[in-house]
Structure 1
Amino acid sequence: MVRKLKFHEQKLLKKVDFINWEVDNNLHEVKVLRKYIEKREDYTKYNKLSRNIRVLAQKIRDLDEKDGFRAQSTCVSLCCRYSVGLIPTKQNLSLTNEVCASAFCRRRLPTIMLKLRMAQNLKTAITFIEQGLIVQCSYRSLEDFVTWVDSSKIKQHVMNYNEERDDFDLIV
Structure 2
Amino acid sequence: MRKLKFHEQKLLKKVKFAPEWQKGSNLREVKILRRYHIQKREDYTRYNRICGLITSFVARLKKLTEDDPVRIDLTGALLEKCYNLGLIKTKKSLVQIETLSASKFCRRRLPVVMVRNHMAQNLTEATAFVEQGHIRVGLDIIRDPSFLLTRQMEDYLTWADKSSIKQKIKAFNGDVDDFELLGE
TM-score, with structure 1 as normaliser: 0.79
By how many angstroms is 1:133 displaced?
1.6
By how many angstroms is 1:64 displaced?
1.4
CA contact (8 A) 2:84 2:152 kept: no
User: Where does residue 69 of structure 2 map in the other structure?
Assistant: 68
> Following the alignment from structure 2 to structure 1, what is the Cα–Cα distance between the partners of residues 63 and 40?
35
> Following the alignment from structure 2 to structure 1, what is the Cα–Cα distance between the partners of residues 31 and 116?
17
SS of the aligned residue for 2:158 comes to strand
Q: Could you say what the CA RMSD is over the residues aligned between the two structures, in angstroms?
A: 2.2
User: Where does residue 153 of structure 1 map in the other structure?
Assistant: 164
Cα offsets for 1:91-146 (capped at 9, x unmatched): 11111012110100111111112222323443432332233221113721444321
By how many angstroms is 1:73 displaced?
0.8
Aligned length: 153
Matches within 5 A, 1:12-31: 26-31=26-31
Moved more, 119-128 or 42-51: 119-128
Does structure 1 residue 34 correspond to structure 2 residue 34?
yes
Moved more, 67-76 or 119-128: 119-128
Unmatched 5+ residue regions in structure 1?
1-9, 13-23
Letter aligned with residue 41 of structure 2 = R
Matches within 5 A, 1:3-14: 10-11=1-2
Unmatched 5+ residue regions in structure 2?
4-23, 139-148
Residue in structure 2 matching 1:166, options 169, 173, 177:
177
SS of the aligned residue for 1:50 comes to helix
> Following the alignment from structure 1 to structure 2, what is the Cα–Cα distance between the partners of residues 141 and 111?
16
Moved more, 121-130 or 97-106: 121-130
Matches within 5 A, 1:136-147: 136-137=137-138, 139-147=150-158
> Following the alignment from structure 1 to structure 2, what is the Cα–Cα distance between the partners of residues 58 and 112?
30
CA contact (8 A) 1:47 1:101 kept: yes
Q: Structure 1's 159 and 11: CA in aligned 2 closer, same or farther, altered over 3 A? A: farther
SS of the aligned residue for 1:117 comes to coil
Does structure 1 residue 96 correspond to structure 2 residue 97?
yes
Q: Percent same amino acid at aligned positions?
A: 44
User: Where does residue 131 of structure 1 map in the other structure?
Assistant: 132
SS of the aligned residue for 2:136 comes to strand
Moved more, 74-83 or 162-171: 162-171
